[in-house]
Structure formats: structure tokens, C-alpha cells
Structure 1
């Protein structure tokens, strides 16, 4: 019998067995328990554990990876010099280009290549990065995610309706009972089939919506158009790692007013993880990794404690933050540091007519407060031209009235020499996995001669 068919049948049978016995292993529960115990600890105890984990990670990579051994020797650093928190600045910061150039020399010797899972970053910053992991690291990451989601009632094994991920088949949805997930093909969502999709959702009994902000805001708009707002309210909305714009959040909250929203922050590199519920700030998990903020660029720097397969120490993530605070919140002192907003990547840039660069973090600020659109995309084909695509079902005059303010903000940033064109569309295409590419620059990095 075909191996693929056998595996499929086995998963169907296993889907009827309680989740904890087949879907997750010992590593998952070990780390979930570790994260849950943080709730009983003082800030001082957590800082001590964090420092110990940091020191052990630095000593481990120095002993087992050629990349870090060479890097630290070049900078005159040795793990023995890492005595307390004041010594963190002695450790050199690394970035994506350095990791890419290092190749497999960044991988610790105790992990044979043939036992690793190979992946890659999404490549939204221009070039993807090859990543390595294993089942244990994936279990730790899932434990951290479940720990954060527990703040809105999610428990391991609860069913999720997932508005994200890549579909290889031409279908509107796919039910995966083994993982307790109903996957919706965002690219196939329309006002004509949203009723049918919600019938399928109701039949599963799954209570949690999980997906990219751009996908969930599209779902919310389609629900509004079909007047389905009061037909179904999920237990919670779990927003995945993608910049959440205020206009998207407003649309989602308008359609699901009784539903709590959890906003997740993480990276493919598995360096640091944070989450926020409703209007609270983002709070990081201190035993998942150590989060810092570059005081000059406001970019995040992280050190992973869960990823020993591809260890990243003081890795510049390049996502920018505002109001970064190392002090724990009085209500949840076990989660720290915190940040009011995580706006986007420093390296996703647009250009002014004179060639000066504008970061996506600044672009994200310009669209805050928009109420008439469910998605927005900027395309730059020339240094002096930007096309703005607006996804909306509202009357044109309503949308364009609000765009007057956006136009003023953009010209303040790009100068009045920038030509702006606005187009209202029913739907802005997402990527195959359901993501919205907020900025697309189709010109070279050097200014064209005039």
C-alpha cells in the first residue's frame, strides 16, 4: 500500500485519540510547565534564571560552534567575562547577513546535519535565510505559543480555524482533524462563499480563529457585506506574526465586538516571543529568550534560549518598537520587557524622489487611524511615484475623503515632488500563504539617472 495513503489513514484514526497522547511530546509539556511556573516567581527570580540561561548559551556556542568561537576571539570576548547583566554589551551583535555568510559554521557540532529540519525565513526583507531546527525546538516553540494563548482561553488541543498557510490544492478549505485545524484558503474567500465557509466552521465546533491580520480583516469585511456579524462569534481571535495596522484591528473589532484579540509576535528564527491582549502592550516571555532594544534605531535584538540547534546570540531582528520598557507590568510581572507597538522591519524600505530611504515602520504609522479600508498596499515603481491600493466596500467618496489626510502625511514624508495615485479595489491579492505584502518596491536600490 502507498506510504502516503497509510500515513493519511493513520492520522485519521489518531485524530480520535486525546490530543496530548499523539500530537505533542514530553518536550512540549516540560517547557509548558516551565513557562507556567513563571507565574509563581518574583521578577528577581526570573532575572536570575534568565541570566543563567544566557550565560549557559554563550558558553555552549563558544565551545561548539566555529562561527561564535571566531567572532568572540576577534572581539576579545570570552564567556568567562560574562559575569552579570552589565557584561551583555561586551558580546558582539550579529545580523542576518552575518548568519547567512556563516552557513553551517553557526550550527553546534552535537547536532548532526542529517537529523535537522531545514527551513527558511519568508524573504520579506529581500533575501531569505536558511534555518535549521528539530522536533524538540518546534515543541518548545509550540509550548510558548500555547502559554501566551492561554491568556484568552486557548488550551492545547482546542480546535482552530486557520486563515493562513500555503494551499497546494485548488480548494476553499481543508479539515485536518489530526491537528484540530480547519484551514481556510484565503485566496479563495469571496462574498459569494463566505456563508458556506461559516457553515463548515460551525459544524466543526472550533472556537478559535487564527490567522494573519490582513486575512482576518478581509474575513471581517466579507462578513459585514453578508450581514453575518451576529451569526457567529469566535472564542478568541489569535492574530499571527504580521504587522497589525490600526485600521485592520478596527475592522476586526467592529465585526467581533465580544471576542478577545490576542496579537502574537515571533520570528521564523525563534529568537524571542511576545504577545498582547486587547489594548495592553506586547509582553515578552523571559525564559524563551532575552529581548533588547537598540537605542539608536529602536530595532529589537534577541537571544534565543529555546533554539540550541541554530543558536542566535544578540541577533538584530530589525523589527522596530516604540515605548520599550524593561520594567515588568504590575499585573503580569512574569512577562517582560514590554513594548507599546512593534511596527515592522527597518530593512523594508521605500525611497524619496531624491533617493533617501523611508522605513516601513514609518509607513505603518501613516496608516494608523484609517477606518474606511480593510487593507492597504504601497507599490513604488519609480523614485517619484507611489501607487496606493485601498481595499474597501464603502462608497468612493467616503474612502477618498479619508485619503486626504493620508495624502498629506505621505507628502510630508516624501515631499511634494512625490506623485501619489490612489486606487480603490474590492480585493488586494495576498501571497499563497495568505499574507498581505504591505510594501512592494519594484525599483533598484540605486537612483535612476534623470
Structure 2
């Protein structure tokens, strides 16, 4: 059974909102459906019964392996023979896992359709650059939304957030009719384009938040920090900030300095941060000591050395994940490109880690006023990316930058113009963006590829 929210979420925004008002008349649990309810119960049970959680992880690992071996990539690929031995019961799932190769981002993108384990109508093509500018493609289950939302709501519950409560969501994305913000009754959020936030608009947005009684702020940490600074310097009444109950940073590295500043400006708000991936293979919450706790039933997490061996306490390792609910496209030992320091294990055996270093850079674009603008809005998803092999942003002057694009072989002039306009919209009122086509965008000398070529001396640092 598909939840009401799941059905509405796949409609275009304008049509989605036509159904939003009657949908919100239903109780929240009814809108989100049985998958949400079942997942929420599993999260609670895993937290209170570690032995059940460990056995369930083993069962789902085995199911992932049985599903994977039926696909062309895993079924015929080298080094995956052990999957057959799991199916016959000769090898345990965890023993098999240690014998399997590491799946790279490049292999995932190149072979994602060979990993398809379900009818194509049940999945949708997704893409992400992280912020590396080097796009990868993968397939996600279309009905994943209710399950995902159960984990998100659970991670936010420490702030007092409950299913169905309204939030304002600061995001770097396009909205219908190029609106600066969009009221999403279907999801209970006001989505604000971060490119439109500034000294001239902050009063309008803050009065909108106060008028609607919104108590939860959700968005990129860099944007929430910018909002806090604007409110600190504002010449209008900002006392509603004392009514904010939750600050929900997402998608960027989060520092203790950011935590302290946000706590000062929103003193009665609790903060909740999670680590997640576009590929939907890991989900972890951040505790007060800045240690990440993965949800064991969401995805199996390992911290490994380059040679594939587990790291010891205090060592840094790459974050490698295996999906436990990837019916459409299972990922087995997927190298996320991120790394972290191992600090221990929970009572299920899941690694706990801190100090994530992502595949993204640590610099942002510098605006004309000297403030830093996160490159996170340049994350592009789905079919928008298919005309581009790689892109890079070069900045030499504050307030201006050049978007360098290496087109894909099938790119047309119309495709590239649409991509150019998309990226210009992502920088509206922040940085003036020029466009340049190039034959090749090589990686750096160490083999890595970064999105931002920041050439401004002593540019402010941030997690971009």
C-alpha cells in the first residue's frame, strides 16, 4: 500500500499542492501509511533490543545478497561467487561480506542499470555530484519516501519535533514559477531559495515564519548561520527566535563553532544533525559529543583501510556501506568517498565515528560583500546532469565566477543552455556566473577532482 504522502510526492509541485489541503485533513500517521509505521516500530525495537537488531541485520544482509546475485553486475561479475554460497547457507553473510570487493563510485555510475534487481517502473534515475563536480548515477526505489521519513523524523525527535509539524526549509533549488519561496502544504514546510536570502529579504521571511508560528528551522548550516547573523543585525523585532524549538542543519559538515553561534541566536532551540547520502546507503545521527551513530537497520556500515581491512579505534577509515533495503538496486560494500575516525561500536556492533572528511572541498564561493556562499546548491540531481561529463567553478574575483563545463558526447546546444540557466538560477543574487565550455576538465595531481578552483588569496574556509 502506497502512502498518501508517497503518491503526492511524485506529482509536479503545482499539482501536488492542489491535493495538499484535503490530504492534511487526514491524521499524520494515515498520510504516511503502514511503511512509515512499520519502520518507526523497527527503529524503536532496534534501539531497545540489540540482539534482535543484530539478527535482523544478518537476515537483511543475506536478503540483499540473494537479490544482488540475480543481477547482471553481481551475478556475473568477478569476485562475487561467494554470494552463491550465502544463498546455499555455506557461508554466513558477515563472513561473505569480508570477502567481497569494494564498489567504487565510478563502477556504480557506469553499471547502475546492470545492478537493477526490480522492474524499471519501480525505480527512478538519480544523480549526484556530491560537490565534487564529477556526477554519478544510480537507481532508487520510487516508494522509498515513507521509510526515509521515519528515520529523519526519529533523528529530529530529540528537538521535540513530531510528525506533521511545520518547518521552514532553506534550500538551493528551483521553485515553480521562479518563486523565492513556496508553501508546501503537502509536506508541511515552507521552502525558501537560499539564493534569495539577504539583508533586503530577511524581514519578509522572518515575518512569514512568525506569522505561521513555525518553530523549526531546516537547511544548510552555512545558510542558517547567515540567517542568524542577519537577525543579529536586524532593525526589526526578532523576538520570535526565542520561540524556535529546533534547528535542523543538513547536507554540510557541521562544526562546534556553528553549533555555538546558532545556540546563542536561538537559545531555546535544540539542534539535530544527521549524516546521510543521496545513494541512501547510510544514515547516522550526531550526538552532543559530535559522534555519529548509524542506524543499524538502515544500512550496514564499515570503516576500512585502503586495503579493505577494518580500522582500529582512533584510526581513520573510509566509510563503506551496504544497503539493507535496496530492493531496486542493491549496493554492496559501496565506497562513499567519505572517511571518518572510529571511536567505538554500539551494542549491535555498528561503528561509531567522528570527524567526517567528505569528498567535497572546504572552500566556498566569495560574494562581493566578502561573505561565503556554499557550493552545496550546485548539487544537481536526475536527468539535469546527463548533458555534462564534469563541471568546475573557478573564482578569481569576489562576486564573480566562471562555470567550466565539459559536455557529454550526447549533449545538445539546447541541453547545455538549460544547464547554464539552471546553474545561474542557483547563484541568483549571490555570485555572477559566466559560462565556458571546455574539451576536458582533468583531475588534480593526486587523482582527485574538486568542484571549486578557488583562486582568491586567503578565501574564507567552510565545508563546501
Q: TM-score, normalised by structure 2?
A: 0.70
CA contact (8 A) 2:285 2:293 kept: yes
Residues 30 and 261 of structure 1: CA distance in aligned 2, closer, same or farther (over 3 Å):
same
Structure 2 CA distance for partners of 1:56 and 1:237, relative to 1, 3 Å: same
C-alpha displacement of 1:389: 9.7
The counterpart of 2:334, out of the listed 311, 315, 327, is 315
The Cα shift of 1:154 comes to: 1.6
CA change 1:137–1:192 in 2 (3 A) is same
Matched, 1:269 2:279: yes
- Paired residue for 1:343? 357
Of 36, 56, 60, 1:53 maps to: 60
Equivalence for 2:371? 391
**Equivalent in the alignment of 2:75:** 69
8 A Cα contact 1:14 1:178, kept in partner: yes
Aligned partner of 1:290 among 277, 297, 300: 300
Q: Counterpart of 1:323 in 2: which secondary structure?
A: strand
Q: Which runs of 5+ in 2 are unaligned?
A: 1-11, 307-315, 373-394, 400-422, 432-439, 446-464
Give per-residue Cα distances to partners, 1:9-54, cap 9 Å, x unaligned: 33233233333333x222121111111222320x333222212211
Instruction: Give the Cα separation in 1 of the matches to 2:339 and 2:444.
Output: 24
Give the CA deviation at 1:443. 6.9
Give the 3 Å change call, closer, same or farther, for CA 68–423 of structure 1 in structure 2. Answer: same
Q: Does 1:119 align with 2:126?
A: yes
Cα 1:225–1:278 change in 2 (3 A) is farther
User: For the residues of structure 1 that align with 2:272 and 2:349, how far apart are their CA atoms?
Assistant: 15
| Shift of residue 200, structure 1, vs aligned partner | 0.7
Q: 2:319 matched to which residue of 1? A: 300
The question of whether the paired residues in 1 share the 8 Å contact of 2:83 and 2:96 is answered with no
Cα shift at 1:337: 2.5
Q: 2:26 aligns with which of 11, 17, 34?
A: 17
Provide, for residues 38-76 of structure 1, a one-character-per-residue CA deviation record: whole Å limited to 9, x for no partner. 2320x33322221221122112211x2111112255666
SS at match of 1:125: coil
Q: TM-score, normalised by structure 1?
A: 0.72
Q: Secondary structure at the match of 1:179?
A: coil
Question: Which residue in the other structure is 1:372 paired with?
Answer: none
Q: Which residue of the partner structure matches residue 395 of structure 1?
A: none
Q: Are the counterparts in 2 of residues 261 and 277 from structure 1 also a CA contact under 8 Å?
A: no
Aligned equivalents of 1:282 and 1:446: distance in 2? 30
Give 1:413's aligned residue.
none
Could you list the per-position Cα deviations for residues 97-123 of structure 1 after superposition, in whole angstroms to 9, with x for gaps in the alignment? 111221311011xx2113322221245
Query: How far apart are the structure 2 equivalents of 1:132 and 1:173?
Result: 29
Counterpart residue number, 1:377: 364
